[in-house]
Structure 1
Amino acid sequence: MSISSDRIAWEEVIEAKAFVDMARISPQPFKDSVEFTCMPVGKGCAISLPMAPAVGLNRILALNDRDELNLAFEWMKTKTGRRHVQIRETSASHELRGWILDQGLVENGAWMKLTRPVPSAPLAMEGPVRTRLAGFDDAPIFGRLTCAGFGFPTELEPLWSCLVGKKGWACFIAELEGMAIGTGAMFMEDGYAWLGGGTTLAEYRNRGAQKALINARLNEGLAQGVSHFAVETAEPQEGQPNISYANLTKAGFTPSYIRQNYLLPN
């Protein structure tokens, strides 16, 4: 029985597919060492990586069916870390809100989902930052840069380095005067793309790296036959700067919906 009649939005589905694929291609010894697991459920998934500080690696997403949510929730309860369930606000029917209360979930911030169509022509790459598509030899530095930019422990570098050169993935490195300063990843399937892994080393922020990485991925998507792109960032708050949101909207992304984060009780 469905909690909501709303279908799962394509921008949710492509994101869930990206994380399912990330778990699939991650080396098994790495997954065993950090307890990284992912369970596909319906068109969504539940993903757990307890030592990761980010919500994105400890959550249930792209589900609004009662049975599927319960299946994912029971699985997630067996995991550790700061676990979340993400619910699209427009899908939050009275019945779904009752389910949230019944599980003892607590609101813990929200994400804005944004989308845009493919550009009609390649975007100009302006400014001092240059980008390049990472090759297999770049895998170690891609992993190191991504973890350093996000403030992740070094043990998680294989999570990102394993994406480089894999089918369906495009990984970019941003450089300033020959110095590698940032990263961005993109997962593509069936004409849709999800942008993730966008980060810049702290000492090089506000110099245009993320704008360059966004445009590089849009151009790559254009070349690969992508028709629509999806991405997410923290929900903008009045009076608080949100550089990620500003970069994305300047690049032609428009808000699609708010997705609330609900924290599982300990």
Structure 2
Amino acid sequence: MSLDRIAELLEFSEAEALWGYENSAPPPAVELLGLASKRLGGGVVLSARHDVTNYWSKALGFGFESPVTADLVAEITSFYREQGTPSATLQFAPSVLPPDWDAIREKEGITEGGTWVKVARLAGLVQSRETELRIAEVGAADAEKWASVLVRGFGMPEEGIAEMAAGVVGRPDWTAYGAWDGDELVAAASLLITGQIAEFSGASTLPGHRGRGAQSALLAVRARQAAALGVKWLSAETGKPEVEGVNSSLNNMLRTGFEIRYERQNWTWRP
């Protein structure tokens, strides 16, 4: 499989995960966050007009079904203007950026943001450190509790965002997992299957319970499920640390056999 084809699958799986989160939100969360979404040119454009975290307004998954052009970028930014979105992050795999990208982004007011790394590995079992925490699948009865832990673990406010996240629990192709300390849910993670890809679409641990092996175990249980379902690739993404080795999420994934496939520049649009 070519590197471009692998990148296409990895970007598609990430885009579908974010689409799933934002399009699973109940009506009160849609209104509170100002959610709107659109499929465009093979990718997705997502707007959360009232999101105080500046995380959920994203455009991604582009450049494989059709090329990234000035017209496509203008359609993306027009959608955000129509929605009244205060800012958005545009994410393109480096291989799909056109030669005239600098001219396009200057015209549209797009500036450089942070850098993420896309990591992946062939499906298979992974080793995890021992943990006294109980790792198990999360059902509908614990969906709100699971979403609360996931959101708080990322340092995000719960209002609206937790209700949105809870909507993926029990959806087709999604599985939610948790780590319990006794009766207390202390870590959360999710898995989305999109064809050949198992997308590790979000995982966090509450601050007081970090360093106890929860995320290593949650990586392992998701890898086992993906292998059982016969997918080919495991995929995830995380921020590139300014100092090598200080991103614990990235460190956990590298220890379990994930490899950095490419670095991806984030691009920030503001009206």
Query: TM-score scaled by structure 1?
Result: 0.89
Q: Which deviates more, 16-25 or 38-47?
A: 16-25
The yes-or-no answer on 1:140 pairing with 2:144 is yes
Distance, in Å, in 2 between the alignment partners of 1:113 and 1:232 is 5
Alignment of 1:107-122 (within 5 A): 107-119=112-124, 121=125
Preserved CA contact (<8 Å) 1:123 1:219:
no
Match of 1:259 among 260, 264, 269: 264
Alignment of 1:8-157 (within 5 A): 9-54=8-53, 56-64=55-63, 65-66=68-69, 67-78=71-82, 79-119=84-124, 121=125, 123=127, 126-155=130-159, 156-157=161-162
Amino acid at match of 1:11: L
What is the number of residues matched between the two proteins? 260
Distance, in Å, in 1 between the alignment partners of 2:129 and 2:225 is 13
The yes-or-no answer on 1:191 pairing with 2:185 is no
**Structure 1 residues 116 and 239 mapped into 2: Cα distance closer, same or farther (>3 Å)?**
closer
Deviation at 1:10, TM superposition (A): 0.8
Please give the secondary structure, in 2, of the residue aligned with 1:144: helix
Structure 1 gap ranges (5+): 1-5
Alignment partner, residue 3 of structure 1 = none
C-alpha RMSD over aligned residues: 2.1
Please give the secondary structure, in 2, of the residue aligned with 1:193: strand
Match of 2:246 among 228, 241, 249: 241
Deviation at 1:170, TM superposition (A): 0.6
Deviation at 1:32, TM superposition (A): 2.3
Preserved CA contact (<8 Å) 1:130 1:212:
no
Query: TM-score scaled by structure 2?
Result: 0.88
Structure 2 gap ranges (5+): none
Amino acid at match of 2:162: E
Distance, in Å, in 2 between the alignment partners of 1:198 and 1:53 is 20
Quote the sequence identity (%): 24
Distance, in Å, in 1 between the alignment partners of 2:236 and 2:176 is 15
Please give the secondary structure, in 1, of the residue aligned with 2:193: strand
Report Cα offsets for 1:99-153 as digits up to 9, x if no partner. 122212111111100111110x475673223311101101110111112111222
Distance, in Å, in 2 between the alignment partners of 1:134 and 1:127 is 18
Amino acid at match of 1:58: S
Distance, in Å, in 1 between the alignment partners of 2:54 and 2:32 is 20
